Every structure is written in structure tokens, then in C-alpha cells.
Amino acid sequence: MKMKKQNVRTVSLVVCTFTYLLIGAAVFDALESDTESKRWEILSDMRSGLIRKYNISAEDYHMIEIVIIENKPHKAGPQWKFAGAFYFATVVLAMIGYGHSTPVTVGGKAFCMAYAMVGIPLGLVMFQSIGERLNKFASVVIRRAKCYLRCDTTDATEMNLMFATGMLSSIIITTGAAVFSSYEGWSYFDSFYYCFVTLTTIGFGDYVALQNDQALTSKPGYVALSLVFILFGLAVVAASINLLVLRFMTMQAEEAREDDADSQRLLSLEPRPPPRDDQTSVSVCSCNCLGNKQCEGIGLLAPPAPRYVRRRASLTPSLIERASV
């Protein structure tokens, strides 16, 4: 049985995705494995040196590690005052999940789950809606530009919109990288990496803005700029994703129409069986509903009609009159 195009595409996507995962794992292994081993050796040597130098027990050193790790988020200032809490809520709604600060209390964890269940769909719908408006605005600009340039066609194609949103995304990421590099003291490449990881909602958490020099309380302008960058950048990325989804849905609809047309064509080409000239069953009248009594106006039907009569003879006037009784 011939597979449908949708099934073939689905199987192909699954195979390509797993192949891509295998390739990614092999590349990351080749790039990061040796560096990881070397870093672990250096850290182990430093740990042993500190323990010998200051005569620290293993338990005390473990406690120092915990204190240092737990103290790291507090360098940005109070994480759960309004500014820090608003930043955390934005990260939750945008599904970035840096992991720089997490709720500790049972009530905070419970509210975080309930808040995410409502906020994430709301955020997705909002970003999708803003993305659609951006695509509409881009289509208007493209049409006017084509009219000004006197192009043969003035319609904004999907490729035009994808190019426009891609260029806007690139501008946002490169500009944001320059800003964060200046404020955070990162290299430009690290800032670019942070912007890309943020706007794609990967959110590793190895680079997080607003985490130094009490930035949450001492730099309100920088806090606002970071929030605007996240929200507007995600909206632009949503516009690009919206175009890809629309393109995929269009392909699915076209293939479904083609499959339906092929099915109708095959049905029209199939030879239909000739009408049978044999006998068919036609029920005339039984009068069982009257308890085998005589029908009103006429006597019992006698002799009973044969069970099988020819189709042409089954609609004679006398039979119709009897059936009406």
C-alpha cells in the first residue's frame, strides 16, 4: 500500500532529527570533552592545594563550596524584591529558565507551578499575536518598497517576510550583544552567545544579565532595558516561527488536497459493477401492527405476495395501494 506524503514526511523528520542529535553529540564530544577533563584536573589540584595549605577538612571545604554557590545569586541584590521578582516572572513566562534564582519555600514552588501553567500559554499567545502584527507591518513596508522600486509584483511573499524578520532578529541580537558587553564586561562573542541563548529560550544560565554589582536595585534603567530586550526579541523570534509554522501548514493543506484529488480520481476510474438483474427483497405489507386483524377498508392480503419479486414489478399500482394501507 502506497504511503501518504504526510506519513513519509513525518518518518523523514523523525529520522533527520535523531541523525541531527547523533551528529550534535559527536561534535560536542569532540569539542568539549578534552577541555572538561583538563578543567577538572586543574580544579582538583586547586582543591587539594587549598586543603593542604589551610588544613581544611573535607567537610569544611564542602561547606565552603555550598556557601559560595548559594551566595552567588545575592551579588545582584535581593532576588525576591519587586524588581528581582518581576525579572524572575518574565523568565518563567518566556520559558527561558536561567536557573540563576529559584523559589525555596513550598508556597513559592507551588505558586511557581500554578503561575507557569497559566502564564506560559498566555505568553505564547501574546508573542504569537505580536509576531503576526509584525509580519503584517513588514508586508506593508515590503509592498510599498516594491511599489517605489516599480517591481513587477508588489505582493509580499513568504520569502520576503522571512528575510525581513531574519534581518530584524539579527539586528536585535547584534545590538543587544554590544549593550550587554558594555554593561556586563563580557566579550562581544560571549554577549552574542547570551543573546542567542536567551531569545531562543534555551536559557543555559551560564551567562545571566543583572547578576553583578547590585544591578537589580542600583541600575533600574538597565533592568528595564534587559526586560524590553527579552520581550521584544522574543516577539520578533515568534514572528519568524509564525512564518515557518504557516509555511508548514500550507504544505500540509496542499498535500491533503492532492491526496483527496488522487483518491477521487481513483474512485472515478474504478469499474462499477453492473446492476444485478436478480431478485431483491421488497416488503409490501404485513399488518402485524394491527395484531393480524383485517386492514380497514379491505380484507386480508391473500394470497400473500412472494418474498422476492422483480424490481420492475415491485412498484405496480396495486402494490402501492396495498402498501399505503
Residue 271 belongs to a domain: no
Q: Are residues 8 and 51 in the same domain?
A: yes
CB 178 within 8 A of CB 191: yes
Residue 141 belongs to a domain: yes
Q: Are residues 311 and 166 in the same domain?
A: no
Domain-terminating residue out of 224, 240, 266: 266
pLDDT tens digits along 180-233: 999 999 999 999 999 999 998 999 988 999 888 788 888 889 999 999 999 999
Which H or E element spans position 309?
strand 308-309
Cell of 51: 586543603
DSSP state letter for 268: H
Predicted pLDDT at 270: 59
Segments forming the whole domain that contains residue 305: 282-324
Predicted pLDDT at 304: 52
Distance in angstroms (rounded) separating the CA atoms of residues 239 and 167? 12
Distance in angstroms (rounded) separating the CA atoms of residues 324 and 14? 64
pLDDT less than 50: residues of the chain: 1-2, 279-302, 307-317, 319-325
The sign of the dihedral angle between the CA atoms of 119, 124, 127, 128 is negative
Q: Are residues 206 and 313 in the same domain?
A: no
Q: Are residues 37 and 105 in the same domain?
A: no
Predicted pLDDT at 275: 57
Predicted pLDDT at 7: 81
Burial zone of 199 (CB within 10 Å; 0-12 exposed, 13-18 middle, 19+ buried): buried
Predicted pLDDT at 241: 77
Q: Are residues 161 and 206 in the same domain?
A: yes
Residue 69 belongs to a domain: no
Cell of 14: 523523525
